[in-house]
Chain A
Amino acid sequence: DQQVKQNSPSLSVQEGRISILNCDYTNSMFDYFLWYKKYPAEGPTFLISISSIKDKNEDGRFTVFLNKSAKHLSLHIVPSQPGDSAVYFCAASATSGTYKYIFGTGTRLKVLA
């Protein structure tokens, strides 16, 4: 049972345009969501997060939107840069009663120069 889903395995975007990566979840107990970025031959690194008490969190070129009623979150990158080319994982956790983050399958973003 995949509790966190990233339905797009890959995405290509022109440099300077917006990249939108999507993530859906099924567990209504999840209240904290994160995006990680992963380059080849490296471990994932934290990018941005959002708590369920918010619907938007922004950090520079990166914005995460949360739609709790649809159980959907998205990561917007504006403007996209070639250095953003990586695999992006979304993750979710229920901060009470669990010690785990559940990860999606990842979306490979390629930003074309």
Chain B
Amino acid sequence: NAGVTQTPKFRVLKTGQSMTLLCAQDMNHEYMYWYRQDPGMGLRLIHYSVGEGTTAKGEVPDGYNVSRLKKQNFLLGLESAAPSQTSVYFCASLREISAGETQYFGPGTRLLVL
């Protein structure tokens, strides 16, 4: 039982390049989330999904797209990377929103955009 995994762990991009970050969970959770963590800013929600085939915008969605074609996978895409997207990206999954439930986070992807 791997929990939440993220691929890749680290990536360097040049401005304008594109890439896709992959998140996978093996807990059969309905909800999945993409956050970015920046110094002094905490965890900010980029996009989230409440089930297979659904996506919704979070606090900071600009410059990112997402897809959830399979329940266990949540992909985050950067079509044209910018230096402002240098960050650590975390994926999380959640069984349901209720008291007693908690999000499970992946180990993170560190992205550097030059």
List of A residues within 8 angstroms of B35 by Cβ: 103
Which A residues from 62 to 111 make CB contacts under 8 A with B? 89, 93, 95, 98-106
B102 close to A93 (CB less than 8 A): no
List of B residues within 8 angstroms of A32 by Cβ: 98-99
List of A residues within 8 angstroms of B106 by Cβ: 43
A105 close to B42 (CB less than 8 A): yes
B99 close to A51 (CB less than 8 A): yes
Q: Which of B4, B58, B90, B102 contacts A100 (CB 8 A)?
A: B58
List of A residues within 8 angstroms of B4 by Cβ: 43
Say whether A34 faces chain B, with CB atoms less than 8 Å apart.
Answer: yes
Interface residues of A, count at CB 8 A: 26
B97 close to A104 (CB less than 8 A): no
- Say what secondary structure dominates the interface of chain A: loop
Nearest A residue (CB) for B4: A43
Q: Please judge, given known A-B contacts A43-B90, A43-B106, whether A100 and B45 are in contact too, CB under 8 Å.
A: yes
Nearest A residue (CB) for B43: A103
- 8 A–B contacts from the bound complex (CB under 8 Å): A32-B99, A43-B106, A44-B43, A46-B104, A95-B97, A95-B98, A95-B99, A103-B42
Chain B, residues 24-49, CB within 8 Å of chain A (1/0): the string is 00000001010100001111110010
Q: How far is the CB of B15 from chain A (nearest CB, A)?
A: 25
B102 close to A34 (CB less than 8 A): yes
Alpha-carbon distance between A6 and B40 when the two chains are bound, in angstroms: 10
